[in-house]
Amino acid sequence: MSGEVLLAGAWAGVGAHGGADAALELTGWTALTGWTFEWLPALAVAVTALGYLAGVRRLRRRGDRWPVGRTVSFVGLGLGGTVLATQSFLATYDTTLFWVHMAQHMLLAMLVPIFLALGAPITLALRTLPARPRRLLLAVLHSRVAAVLTFPLVTGLIFVLNPFVLYFTGLYQATLENPLLHDWNHVHFVVVGALWYWPLLGIDPMPRRLPYGLRLLAAFAVLPFHAWLGVTVMASSTLIAGEFYADLGRSWGPSLAQDQQLAGGLLWSSGELVGLVVFAVLLVQWMRHSEREAVREDRRLDRLEAQAAARTRPLDG
């Protein structure tokens, strides 16, 4: 793993693959203390958080309201989850244990994008950016590329096929052996997750937005594929990146086959839990949308009644 400084000395030696071939055993203590510092994701998170908070501050200084929940979702949970995935023991052991990598994968691809989407960063940018960058952002939002990349059929296929291609070709082992590919793999997890969750759950303006009923149907159709992927990983008789993991010479923890079983089981179970979160968010959003629509309809009817009363008043006189 490139550019990392281990805060607790979790590695005992550096192997030929750029990782460690003799990591300290993963225990509760090393999970708490085995943090690393990856400067590139740390810098990206810091810049993004500062930009978001600067936008919130600008809104408040001019007297506009910005929901605290959006800030907590984007900065605290979304970017905070990114820090956890790229700096904690998940990053320290992600090339040593397959199940740790899978936990990192699920965090970056399934949870972080949800919270980033609920933070509505595009809406915040449109309300705070100067005129020229705002026009550029609007042009991107209304472009044909954005329309394609936010179309649920396209994003759903990418979201479903992406992990199958990663784990059942040589790509995953290549990311373990190449530090640059390893870092880009983390980025691509977030990007693919964002492409799916932003139009599904996000509250930002989109080129095309499905009704809530179709969004629920899309979630029902797509999310089970991660459970099937987990079952496929567990049932596979071939070790995924087995050559790489065997070369590490790890003498503690689960065997290579048990490690893959744990990874598949984690993918299966966590996919189900994330599915429940997605359905809950969609249902809450749908109910709030219906309430707002009811209020708007009541106001419209009140206006019509007032207009009708105003037209008939002279006749009564």
How does pLDDT run across 42-65, given as a tens digit for each residue? 999 999 999 999 999 999 999 899
CA atoms of 68 and 62, how far apart (whole Å): 16
β partners of residue 11:
23
What is the reported pLDDT for 122? 94
Domain boundaries, the chain: 4-316
Which of the two residues, 20 and 278, has the higher pLDDT score?
278
What is the reported pLDDT for 298? 59
Tokens at residue 118, please? Answer: 């609920």
pLDDT tens for 71-103 read 999 999 999 999 999 999 999 999 999 999 999
Q: What are phi and psi of 36, to 5 degrees?
A: -130, 165
CA atoms of 1 and 76, how far apart (whole Å): 26
Mean pLDDT of the residues in the chain: 84
How many C-beta atoms surround the C-beta of residue 50 within 10 A? Answer: 11
pLDDT at 5 over 50: no
pLDDT at 68 over 50: yes
What is the reported pLDDT for 151? 85
How many C-beta atoms surround the C-beta of residue 145 within 10 A? Answer: 9
pLDDT at 204 over 90: no
- CB distance 10 to 24 below 8 Å: yes
pLDDT at 255 over 60: yes
pLDDT at 8 over 50: no
What is the reported pLDDT for 265? 92
pLDDT tens for 14-39 read 333 334 444 688 888 888 888 888 88
Q: DSSP assignment, residue 108?
A: I
- Residue 121's closest CA among 208, 205, 211, 197? 205
Tell me the percentage of the chain whose pLDDT exceeds 90. 46
pLDDT at 3 over 70: no
CA distances from 255 to 136, 246, 250, 303 (A): 52, 10, 9, 71
Could you tell me the pLDDT band of residue 149, with boundaries at 50, 70 and 90? confident
- Residue 271's closest CA among 222, 218, 235? 222
Mean per-residue pLDDT for 157-175?
91
CA atoms of 50 and 45, how far apart (whole Å): 9
Helix (H, G, I), strand (E, B) or coil at 5: strand
pLDDT at 317 over 80: no
Give me the residue label for tokens 């800030």: 71
Indicate the range of 37-46, 128-137, 285-294 predicted with least confidence: 285-294
Q: Torsion angle, CA of 296/301/306/309, rounded to 10 degrees?
A: 180
What is the reported pLDDT for 258? 93
CA 197, 199, 204, 207 torsion-angle sign: positive
- CB distance 157 to 236 below 8 Å: no
Calculate Rg over the CA atoms of the chain: 24
Q: pTM of this prediction?
A: 0.82
Q: Torsion angle, CA of 292/206/149/224, rounded to 10 degrees?
A: -10
To 5 degrees, how large is the angle CA 178–CA 164–CA 201?
100
Could you tell me the pLDDT band of residue 302, with boundaries at 50, 70 and 90? low
Mean per-residue pLDDT for 163-188?
92
E strand or H helix that includes residue 37: strand 36-38
- Residue 90's closest CA among 78, 73, 107, 77? 107
Tokens at residue 139, please? Answer: 């042009």
